[in-house]
A and B are shown apart, each in its own frame.
Chain A
Amino acid sequence: MVNTTINLKGLSLKNPVMTASGTFGYGEEYADFINFSDLGGIIVKGTTLNPRQGNPYPRMAETPSGMLNAVGLQNKGVRYFIDEIYPRIKDFDTNVIVNVSGSTMDDYVQAAEMIGELEHIPAVELNVSCPNVKQGGMAFGVTCSGIEQIVSAVRNVYKKHLIVKLSPNVTNIAELALAAEASGADSVSLINTMLGMAIDAEKRRPKLSTVTGGLSGACVKPVALRMVWQVYKAVKIPVIGLGGISNATDAVEFMLAGASAVEIGTANFIDPAVSVKVAKGITEYCERHGFSSVSDLTGALEV
């Protein structure tokens, strides 16, 4: 029997697989395909203090082995989440984690504080790295001082497990991870989407209403893997790896590079049950390679 449990600085996961924010709705959308109890956690849609309509259509373009999106954090706001959605999802038999985003420091702090009161939400993931909103978001996430400000402010009001989600659109991601750690993050997750662009040559127009958007899917995996490795070597807090994970082998690679847990995003669009298959596959890998505990995979890369 392989021990699949993962302990992320106080946050206990049944197994290392979670679903990535923005790709899994509130979980309910996938209820026909999987049992939530087979996952380490689900991270729900990016939630902001005030409701947001997001960006105009078109918001999506397929690219080689991936996709660009420009959803722009469409959501009904934290109040609506607490009143309408939380009661429906709070009893899912897994960790339900809320991804929090904002345009100003106050937005983040207030939203995190409100979510902090919810008994059945054991963690928030702070999205300081969304490329699809005009102000804030990525602006905080691309400088160390921005990260320090936002993370320490949220840390002051949020007492449970605080994950900080990092942007790959930076020159030195390890520095940003260190800034998050120093400001009180319990863990870091990476990567968010990479800034990209797609053009319809026939129409001489951009494919997205916002011209540029966030790249995700299999094509970003090598970049994500490299960043997880760099961050793992720099920080002491747990690293959650994501970016292009499509199967169990991909997930194992992220763990070998230093991830304590993983998130699955775009791959859910191709196979709605992929997250559970990945969790099973990681255990099988451990059996085949004689690891008695999945957590032993973390950083087990031989270089």
Chain B
Amino acid sequence: MLVLHSQDELPDILPGQFVQVRADGAKNTYLRRPISVHDVDYEHNNITLLVQRVGEGTKAICDSEIGSVLNVVYPLGNGFSVSSDWKSVLLVGGGIGAAPLLYLAKVMKIKGLSPLVLLGGKTKNDIIRIDEYRKYADVMITTDDGSLGEKGFVSQHSVWNLREFDHIAVCGPLPMMKSVAAIARQKNTDCEVSLENMMACGLGACLCCVENTKEGNLCVCKEGPVFNINRLLW
């Protein structure tokens, strides 16, 4: 977990938007890395990120000393929709990919919604910050090995048989997002997913991050990262 403090007042940040971070001076990495906004504290001008070490870029970010200055561009992308008309909303997250759902749940709660959060992971160690989510939502859990919550994938959780939803928001590994999108489509439920395509500029300038959609190749960094599944080809 990383807390970024800004000297300036933070602009309005939407849930689902992301930042691009680079630990300048890190020798083995070149471009900034896209990371979702996990939480925002406007009072203290802080943005919280959850970063998983997968390679050199994320390692350099995670290894930054407390107090160091990072190269950060924010806020980027479009963000999840939030509508006060929705009576029941489900937020589904897998592993570290769940990161933006905390801020989404918080914003939904502020707008008077009571979202349900469904978190999935391989083992109980992958399910982090449950108590934070519980401030804003009821939390359900699945783990592949059954070490916490129901055993299995998020797409197999019992809630799917018990409840209907007006809207579903999903982020996490691609196969998991696709399986939830398939359920949403079957139930005819409005559903948004957050894509994690590889990015360079993050500003819609280089066209490196495109997703092939019904409207052709769209920049995930600018038109997304959040897409309604109706726009996607999956």
Footprint of B on A, CB under 8 Å? Answer: 22-25, 29-30, 45, 53-54, 56-67, 69, 71, 74, 217-218, 266, 268-272
The answer on a CB contact under 8 Å between A56 and B30 is: no
Given contacts A58-B198, A218-B30, 4 further A-B contacts (CB under 8 A): A59-B209, A60-B199, A62-B57, A74-B217
Q: Give 1 or 0 for each of B18-51: 1 = CB within 8 Å of chain A CB.
A: 0000100000111110000000000000000000
Measured CA separation A65–B28 after assembly (Å): 8
Partner of A270, one of B30, B211, B222: B30
The answer on a CB contact under 8 Å between B208 and A62 is: no
8 smallest A-B Cβ distances: which pairs? A25-B205, A60-B208, A29-B205, A29-B203, A269-B201, A269-B200, A71-B207, A74-B207
Footprint of A on B, CB under 8 Å? Answer: 22, 28-32, 57, 71, 73, 197-212, 216-217, 222
Q: Which A residues lie within 8 Å of B206 (CB)? A: 22-23, 25, 60, 69, 71, 269
Q: For B29, B73, B210, B211, which residue has the most chain A Cβ atoms within 10 angstroms? A: B210
Measured CA separation A53–B217 after assembly (Å): 6
Q: A76: nearest residue on chain B (CB-CB)?
A: B216
Interface of A is mostly: loop
The answer on a CB contact under 8 Å between B207 and A65 is: no
Measured CA separation A269–B31 after assembly (Å): 7
The answer on a CB contact under 8 Å between A60 and B216 is: no
The answer on a CB contact under 8 Å between A54 and B30 is: no
CB distance from A45 to the nearest CB of B (A): 8
Q: A219: nearest residue on chain B (CB-CB)?
A: B30
Q: How many A-B residue pairs have CB under 8 A?
A: 85
Q: Which A residues lie within 8 Å of B201 (CB)? A: 23, 25, 29, 268-269, 272
Interface of B is mostly: loop
Given A67-B200, A269-B200, A269-B201, A60–B30 Cβ distance below 8 Å?
no
Measured CA separation A71–B219 after assembly (Å): 12
Measured CA separation A62–B206 after assembly (Å): 14
The answer on a CB contact under 8 Å between A62 and B210 is: no
Measured CA separation A24–B206 after assembly (Å): 7
12 A-B contacts, Cβ less than 8 Å apart?
A25-B201, A25-B204, A25-B206, A53-B217, A54-B217, A57-B217, A60-B199, A60-B200, A60-B208, A71-B207, A74-B217, A218-B30
The answer on a CB contact under 8 Å between B22 and A270 is: yes
Q: Which A residues lie within 8 Å of B207 (CB)? A: 22, 45, 54, 59, 71, 74
Partner of A69, one of B22, B28, B200, B216: B200
Q: Which B residues lie within 8 Å of A270 (CB)? A: 22, 30-32, 71
Q: For B31, B199, B206, B217, which residue has the most chain A Cβ atoms within 10 angstroms? A: B206
The answer on a CB contact under 8 Å between B204 and A62 is: no
Measured CA separation A45–B204 after assembly (Å): 11
Q: B220: nearest residue on chain A (CB-CB)?
A: A57
CB distance from A71 to the nearest CB of B (A): 5
The answer on a CB contact under 8 Å between A269 and B32 is: yes
The answer on a CB contact under 8 Å between B30 and A272 is: no
Q: Which B residues lie within 8 Å of A22 (CB)? A: 206-207
Q: A66: nearest residue on chain B (CB-CB)?
A: B30
The answer on a CB contact under 8 Å between B200 and A56 is: no
Measured CA separation A74–B206 after assembly (Å): 10
Partner of B204, one of A29, A56, A61: A29
